[in-house]
Amino acid sequence: MASEHTAKAFDTDLQELTRLVAEMGGIAERMIVDSVDALIRRDVALGQRVVTTDAELDTLQKKIEERAVLTIARRQPMAIDLREIVGAMRVATDLERIGDLAKNMGKRVAALETDFHPLKLFRGLEHMTDLVQQQVKSVLDAYAAHDLPAAMAVWKGDEEVDAICTSLFRELLTYMMEDPRNISFCIHLMFCAKNIERIGDHATNIAETVFYMIEGQAITDKRPKGDMTTFATTIPNT
């Protein structure tokens, strides 16, 4: 009887944790979209709103960690139940970092007040963002539904994002070489592109957490990796 009570109490705790993670996910997704929208539309107020919102994610992450730890201490879950709790903590950590990266983009909006505003560059950024936001959405759905194939699809699917990032870096470099007045603007966009790419990395981290929760072990396969941006800026020298 007591153990049945414990099992029910555990389920309630876990549901609450999953609900909090979903809440974080919703906020993080919104922040990604808003920060890039703010960049494209030069909407300083929206950028500032993203910066302010980040505190909500930080608070939720701490709350999830606290509740997770209390649940473990009180219910002493084993095996798969324990992994569910650890999984919630890990996903919360990734979402908190996604928030930091969006916040950093939000901060840059004010610095991009310039007449130089090539639409082509922004389209690249927008396209990257669409893909990454879709990855974040898909992997959070996969997490909620315990859908391993869907999580693995995200895990394998960030090559396109990396390719766009690399080509965007090349283009930005060209603009910088053409006219020194473009430099500061392009640097900001480079940091933003890198942030979006890193948000994609966090989506794959979450996919790995889903794998761990379901399979009970860390993923061992090597992930396909198309990111060459660390090297893209050497091109003019070669």
Query: Which one among 14, 108, 136, 197 touches a copy of itself, defined by CB under 8 A?
Result: 108
What minimum distance in Å lies between the beta carbon of 236 and a copy of itself?
5
Separation of alpha carbons 22 and 97, rounded Å = 15
Restricting to residues 184-213, name those near a copy of itself by CB under 8 A.
184-185, 187-188, 190-191, 194
C-beta of 210: minimal distance to a copy of itself in Å? 15
Task: Please tell me whether residue 7 binds a copy of itself under the rule CB under 8 A.
Answer: no
Under the binding rule (CB under 8 A), the answer on residue 21 touching a copy of itself is: no
Please tell me the total number of residues recorded for the chain in this structure: 238
76, 145, 146, 223: which one contacts a copy of itself (CB under 8 A)?
A: 76
Amino acid 151 reads A
Q: Is 10 left (phi over 0), alpha (psi -120 to 50) or beta?
A: alpha
Q: What is the dihedral of CA 226, 229, 231, 237, to 10 degrees?
A: 130
Residue 194 CB partners (closer than 8 Å, separation 6+): 165, 229
Part of the chain binding a copy of itself (CB under 8 A), chosen from 35-43, 118-126, 147-155, 181-189: 181-189
| Phi-psi map region of 218: left, alpha, beta (phi>0 left; psi -120 to 50 alpha) | beta
Torsions phi, psi for 3 (to 5 deg): -70, -35
**Cα 82 from Cα 76, distance rounded (Å):** 8
Backbone angles phi, psi at 224, to 5 degrees: -65, 135
Instruction: Work out which of 86, 152, 153, 219 binds a copy of itself, going by CB under 8 A.
Output: 86
Task: Count residues near a copy of itself (CB under 8 A).
Answer: 42
Give the nearest distance from C-beta 151 to a copy of itself in angstroms: 18
Binding segment toward a copy of itself, per CB under 8 A, in 10-18, 26-34, 102-110, 160-168: 102-110
Q: Are 21 and 92 in contact (CB under 8 A)?
A: yes
**Is residue 111 near a copy of itself by the rule CB under 8 A?**
yes
CA nearest neighbour of 113 among 53, 51, 41: 41
Q: Pattern 122-151, binding to a copy of itself, x per CB under 8 A?
A: ------------------------------
Q: Give the whole-angstrom CA distance, residue 155 versus residue 206.
A: 9
Q: Which of 7, 80, 145, 183 is close enough to bind a copy of itself by CB under 8 A?
A: 183
Residues binding a copy of itself (CB under 8 A)? 62, 65-66, 69, 72-74, 76-78, 82, 85-86, 93, 104, 107-108, 110-111, 113-114, 173, 176-177, 180-181, 183-185, 187-188, 190-191, 194, 218, 230-231, 233-237
